[in-house]
Structure 1
């Protein structure tokens, strides 16, 4: 039986930071609003499951304030490194935060938008989101949640009746506004802006806000904050790898200090364990390729450490930053063993198993989703050739972490490669047929139940 719906518990914590952290804005006045996706499972976790469609549109398409939370939308200010080049001219350019709520675990959650109109940080952009971009974000967040990756949740997608021109897809194309449920929207780039502006008071206030509101600690110690972020982002990097996921744009303004993945643009799932596989056509140097993601995320955390020098000594920051690898190694072992469906045995045997698994995946170029499906529970099928003998031996002393009796294991593996993403979008574009998307979400959630 699913857990009972969470009571609605609003918050206004973001207002405590003060107006130097955000700009009040208004949502666009869209010509139409058609609910295309509502995530009632996520809504139930923050007390919003009982909204009818009219209320849903009113709050998530027209942005009428929810009761007792933020009185108006706020576009957050931040800077960031974009492909390693520092950019002080960014911020929420097509989105804003418009509500804060507590979930059933007691975490402070933000409701943020994508495609809600122009803000002071839109520069030359129209502040809009394509409907296809919204569909892609639904698929990314559902798949990552099922694969045990800490991620924002796509709460709502509403088609808005505008025609958008984009240079990288057939235009004009349909428009939408997306609402994201996320454990905060404080980015590494939020701290970088304060360091750039030498705002020591603002930096101390932000450190305290993150520790108290997002980590639940009565502290304002920047070293403690960095330690949290190092641990959380090392886990995120490890789970990206175990999921075979490539974010595509791991800029410092896209890294949430809670270690939760969000903001999905040119993402892809890798067909095989190929370290050089990239998601973005414009990532010509492979900076954010599959195998470079842990290093890319570590580099971003280095920028947080550099920013915190405004309020902390260098030596403890450096010492804390250098623990990233020591957190990543057990995290990647845990993530891959979870995907294999076996119980960990300890640091040394688990590390050896991971090395053997990665070598087999890399040398055979085996399809990731099929392989993890076949190996779940720790048995290598007899049909796998001698290239897998090392893994057979390494798995001999491992036991399954759960029985393989879920109906999912009697079918075919659930995957999300680019061809299927396009196949899901095609009937929506051609005939407004959403059945394939809804069927895929159901299949992903079934996989998540089998793996959980």
Structure 2
């Protein structure tokens, strides 16, 4: 296991260039204090568990210090939100600090949520509150323990920095780990903004870095899309089996890896209610528990539209039809 200053960085996404993300430094929070850390999640980085007890740990994951090899980036993407296309979203309060390459040969994104304002913050303050950060930590690690594919939560750091929501709360940051932060909406952004070269670059990045085995198939992009469909089918089946309701299944919240991603107003069912709605803003129940299966298929159709430059419409339709 390694110390904090011994991690190996290989920032593949940052190397794609400024069309895909913007260089932004974290805005530190005051008087940082470690609330909780996941030993098993940090082990994915080969990080020794006792490193979380060091003052440097809280300083890094509160935005006060960075590794020299880190390249903080705010990723750009768009997406369909409640069925309507939003042309420009992006990381409004999170930063991809970099990618750690572990001894098992895996790359893990270090994404710091609540890291401050970015060019994509719009009217937001770029902050996350302690309450929601703890919720995300618990949900990420619980889903993983249940065998449901999910992003991981490395730690939560609290602060004395005040933020206003319904009432005054304390700002916090949560370290999210995933092998990719590319979303359906990442590809949609370049498709709808008519940037074919950038769309091709991002599609090749996903294929090469995350689905390399598909390159051996006669139609690599079709093979990749088929696996994305299969992964999402398995994911949603497990959500339904365990009574997990995501609440905000916009295409910008759908991972290209088929994992649970972007925890917001999620909930678990206490009693079976197929019409259960966990998002109080979802007045029509678009993302109700019973709608998660058809919405996932709808989202895959939205992704398919962005892949039409590489895959025939007939093949895309046939593949989407495989979704249960």
Q: Give the secondary structure class of the aligned counterpart of 1:124.
A: coil
Q: Determine the C-alpha separation between the residues in 2 that align with 1:155 and 1:239.
A: 23
- Say if 2:214 and 2:224, in contact at 8 Å, map to a contact too: no
Q: CA RMSD in A?
A: 1.9
- Say if 2:44 and 2:108, in contact at 8 Å, map to a contact too: no
Q: Determine the C-alpha separation between the residues in 2 that align with 1:9 and 1:282.
A: 42
| Correspondence 1:46-445 to 2 at 5 A | 46-49=45-48, 51=51, 52-62=53-63, 64-66=65-67, 68=69, 70=70, 72-103=71-102, 106-167=105-166, 171-217=167-213, 219=215, 221-325=220-324
Q: Determine the C-alpha separation between the residues in 2 that align with 1:94 and 1:290.
A: 27
Q: CA deviation at 1:268?
A: 0.4
Q: CA deviation at 1:142?
A: 2.0
Q: CA deviation at 1:53?
A: 2.0
Q: Deviations for 1:135-171, whole angstroms, at most 9, x for unmatched residues?
A: 111221122112111011111111121111113xxx1
- Say if 1:207 and 1:225, in contact at 8 Å, map to a contact too: no
Q: Deviations for 1:65-114, whole angstroms, at most 9, x for unmatched residues?
A: 3354x3x2100000001111110131100001002123565332111121
Distance 1:277 1:105, change over 3 A: farther
Q: Which has the larger radius of gyration?
A: 1
Distance 1:209 1:138, change over 3 A: same
Long gaps (5+) in structure 2: none
Q: CA deviation at 1:5?
A: 7.6
- Say if 1:107 and 1:214, in contact at 8 Å, map to a contact too: no
Distance 1:301 1:218, change over 3 A: closer
Q: Determine the C-alpha separation between the residues in 2 that align with 1:303 and 1:82.
A: 11
Q: CA deviation at 1:313?
A: 2.1
Structure ranking higher on relative contact order (CA contacts 8 Å, 6+ apart) = 2
- Between structures 1 and 2, the one with greater helix share: 1
- Say if 1:95 and 1:114, in contact at 8 Å, map to a contact too: yes
Q: Give the secondary structure class of the aligned counterpart of 1:324.
A: coil
Aligned length: 317
Q: Deviations for 1:347-388, whole angstroms, at most 9, x for unmatched residues?
A: xxxxxxxxxxxxxxxxxxxxxxxxxxxxxxxxxxxxxxxxxx
Long gaps (5+) in structure 1: 326-452
Distance 1:159 1:228, change over 3 A: same
Q: Give the secondary structure class of the aligned counterpart of 1:112.
A: strand
Task: Give the stretch that moved more between structures: 79-88 or 304-313.
Answer: 304-313
Q: Deviations for 1:390-445, whole angstroms, at most 9, x for unmatched residues?
A: xxxxxxxxxxxxxxxxxxxxxxxxxxxxxxxxxxxxxxxxxxxxxxxxxxxxxxxx
Task: Give the stretch that moved more between structures: 92-101 or 11-20.
Answer: 11-20
Report the equivalent of 1:347.
none
TM-score, length-scaled by structure 2: 0.92
Q: Determine the C-alpha separation between the residues in 2 that align with 1:150 and 1:206.
A: 23
- Between structures 1 and 2, the one with greater strand share: 2
Q: Deviations for 1:213-244, whole angstroms, at most 9, x for unmatched residues?
A: 12233739321221121011111101111111
- Say if 2:14 and 2:21, in contact at 8 Å, map to a contact too: no
- Say if 1:66 and 1:99, in contact at 8 Å, map to a contact too: no
Distance 1:322 1:106, change over 3 A: farther
Q: CA deviation at 1:63?
A: 5.5
- Say if 1:65 and 1:99, in contact at 8 Å, map to a contact too: no
Q: Determine the C-alpha separation between the residues in 1 that align with 2:211 and 2:233.
A: 16
Distance 1:233 1:63, change over 3 A: farther
Q: Give the secondary structure class of the aligned counterpart of 1:156.
A: strand
